[in-house]
Amino acid sequence: MNTYQTDQSQEGILLTASISATGPVYTRAIILKVDEPAQPGIKVADSQPMDHTGKIKKALIGTGPKLKGFRLGVISQVGVIGSNKQERLENAKHAAGDYLLQTGDNNKVSYNNPVITVTENGDDVYVFIVFTVDLV
Amino acid sequence: MKKLLTFSLLCAALITKAQDTKTIKLEDLGAPTSPAFVLTDLSPTLVQNPTTPKSFVLGVAQSFGQSKSGFPDNFAAGFTPFWWFNKKGYSVYDVLGLKTKDTTGKDLRENIWGGLKFTGVSVALINKDLIPDAVADQQQVFSVGGRTNLIKVHRKSYVTDIGNALTAWTKAANKGFDSNQAMLDAMIIDPAGTAEILKKWNYKDLENAMDQINTLIAEKPTLNLDLSAAYAVYGIDDKHYKSGRTGVWTTLSSYIPMRLKFDKPTLNYFSLNASVRYQEDHFYKDNAGNVGLNRSVDAGGKAGIEIDKFAIGVEWLHRWNKAGTSDQNRTVGQLSYKIADQVFLNGSFGKNFDMPNKLITALGINWGIGSEKVKLP
């Protein structure tokens, strides 16, 4: 689990990310308080920062000034492609990702060791990539 | 029909592998198509697929370590170097061989050379008697080969269909995230429990979109050109190694869809293939029974029809031999049925190069123009 020192002078933080995968990628960023997940309090400016290529545009995460105590989660789902299930399971091994958090003062933190989980639904194969950062 | 064929194949496999305690998967019965294995008639059950340089080196080291003679008892690996050295920055477009000017998929075009980067390498270290003499001793055989796709072109609207399918998938994934919101929160709260949480994930929104993409991926190109090459060295004794076989072959294929509707699987084709192969065999047995070098060139083609899991076709090849063997022809009619992914039950009748007027079983091993085939015992 990464931790990240927030800069209270900023309205939010910027997220850039790149997922390398053998299939289309869909990503959503979510911010919440671990002990109060039903009331996140801070909005994610762009909850769908990534298109299916895995190449992310810079996205503002959090529109409120009080980010301390929240956890930022970025979850990517990859639809692994291949001509048959065996090939899809092999291709699933190639999924990788990293992302970068950045505040206005160019303070950056990178995160290259997400939790990667391969799942199956019948003959379909998916990879979920989960990044989490505690904003302290 | 499928169950009967599958049962028959499994029974045959169990009989031939009665002394082998390893579990045999149906996919393992498919004939290998990697050049180093084709050249040495290698069983696919031996082949490893290392995904990193580390695992490849480890596999080689283990096979040497387990050997008493200093040469691995049997080791074979097939891999794609691209996945070893280019882990970052590739997207679904790279994998599909498509070009786009930006990440949104605008001006999507097919990169006809997109298959080059997935050139496969195969290596085999085996003990096998590949010399057709009276002595039944096995040789230490080292074989290395490569296979690449030089050109691949699909139908004109294929790229548009792929782009639309990817967009549909992204929309479906968005919908799926909405309907699984509680699990998203749970994964962020407890990332270590992601695998357990995802067991309840509802994939219903994605199933159709995923099927569309996979159907398009399975679609065969209207024009395809492959090139393969392999080289094998035989250890005659502990100190002497000699060139065994060298082969270079190429196949130009065209698959003309007989039904093209995006919402239905495109599985029916009229296919035309043309192939050329050059092979050197330093231990070739000619008509007089002498073993020596033979250089041969094969050229020919195949025409066929594929309807769902069935395929029927006729293959003709001419072989020019340099050694004391006259030129030969091979004319074979083929009928195959796809039992499972990568596994084909294949029947053939006709005249082979060295088996005149006999019923023969067509193999991916010898020529394998088209799909992979399985040899029946």
Which 8-state DSSP code applies to residue B154? -
Which residue ranges in chain B fall short of pLDDT 70? Answer: 1-34, 41-53, 60-70, 86-87, 102-106, 136, 238, 259-266, 323-324, 340-343, 354-377
**Nearest Cα residue to B38 out of B149, B144, B148:** B144
If you measure CA to CA, which chain B residue comes closest to A133?
Answer: B188
Q: Which A residues, 24 through 53, put their C-beta within 8 Å of a C-beta on chain B?
A: 24-26, 28, 30, 32, 34, 37, 48, 51-53
Cβ contacts of A91 on chain B, cutoff 8 Å: 95
Predicted local confidence at residue B209, as pLDDT: 92
- Work out whether strand B74-79 and strand B47-48 pair parallel, antiparallel, or are unpaired: parallel
Inter-CA distances, B122 with A29, B29, B56, B75, B337, Å: 42, 18, 11, 11, 27
CB contact under 8 A, B103 and A28: no
Which residues face A125 on adjacent strands? A80, A120
Interface check A60 vs B, CB under 8 A: no
Find the mean pLDDT for residues A96-118. 79
Cβ contacts of A53 on chain B, cutoff 8 Å: 91-93, 100, 103-105
Written as one letter, the residue type at B6 is: T
Q: Among A77, A78, A116, which would you mutate to test the B interface (most chain B Cβ atoms within 10 Å of its Cβ)?
A: A77
Structural domain for A59, as ranges:
2-135
Instruction: Please state the domain count of chain A.
Output: 1
Inter-CA distances, B339 with B215, B255, B307, Å: 18, 21, 14
Interface check A22 vs B, CB under 8 A: yes
Cβ contacts of A71 on chain B, cutoff 8 Å: 188-189
Interface check B4 vs A, CB under 8 A: no
Interface check B9 vs A, CB under 8 A: no
Cβ contacts of B199 on chain A, cutoff 8 Å: 119
Q: Which of B49, B170, B184 sits opposite A52 (nearest CB)?
A: B170
Q: What's the burial of B77, exposed, middle or buried (CB within 10 Å: 0-12/13-18/19+)?
A: buried
If you measure CA to CA, which chain A residue comes closest to B195?
Answer: A117
Rounded to two decimals, the ipTM of the complex is 0.88
**8 A C-beta contact, residue B31 and residue B368:** yes
What does the alpha-carbon distance between residue B92 and residue B87 come to, in Å, rounded to a whole number? 13
Q: Show Cβ contacts of residue A113 under 8 Å, excluding neighbours closer than 6 positions.
A: none
Q: Is the dihedral of CA A109, A113, A119, A124 positive or negative?
A: positive
Find the mean pLDDT for residues A17-36. 84
Q: Which of B49, B89, B170 sits opposite A90 (nearest CB)?
A: B49
Written as one letter, the residue type at A75 is: I
Predicted local confidence at residue A100, as pLDDT: 82
pLDDT, greater one: A7 or B190: B190
Interface check B56 vs A, CB under 8 A: no
**Nearest Cα residue to B369 out of B308, B301, B277:** B301
Interface check A112 vs B, CB under 8 A: no
pLDDT, greater one: B210 or A102: B210
Predicted local confidence at residue B371, as pLDDT: 40
CB contact under 8 A, A77 and B177: yes
User: Quick one: tokens of B196?
Assistant: 């357990």
Interface check A110 vs B, CB under 8 A: no
Predicted local confidence at residue B128, as pLDDT: 77
If you measure CA to CA, which chain B residue comes closest to A48?
Answer: B174
What does the alpha-carbon distance between residue B356 and residue B215 come to, in Å, rounded to a whole number? 41
The secondary structure of B200-219, three-state, reads HCCCHHHHHHHHHHHHHHHC
SS3 state of residue B71:
coil
Interval A28-74: pLDDT, tens: 888 888 877 666 566 665 655 556 666 666 667 766 557 778 888 88
Q: What's the burial of B99, exposed, middle or buried (CB within 10 Å: 0-12/13-18/19+)?
A: middle
**CA angle centred on B363, ends B216 and B119, rounded to 5°:** 50
What does the alpha-carbon distance between residue B345 and residue B12 come to, in Å, rounded to a whole number? 12
Place of tokens 């002394």: B19
Q: Distance from A13 to chain B by nearest Cα, in Å?
A: 18
The secondary structure of B222-270, three-state, reads CEEEEEEEEEEEEECCCCCEEEEEEEEEEEEEEEEECCCCCCCCCCCEE
Predicted local confidence at residue B172, as pLDDT: 92
Q: Distance from B135 to chain A by nearest Cα, in Å?
A: 41
Write the DSSP string, A71-100: EEEEEEEEEE--SSHHHHHHHHTT-EEEEE
Cβ contacts of A48 on chain B, cutoff 8 Å: 174
- Work out whether strand A25-32 and strand A13-20 pair parallel, antiparallel, or are unpaired: unpaired
**8 A C-beta contact, residue B271 and residue B255:** yes
**8 A C-beta contact, residue B50 and residue B43:** no
Inter-CA distances, A56 with A6, B74, B90, B144, Å: 22, 46, 13, 40
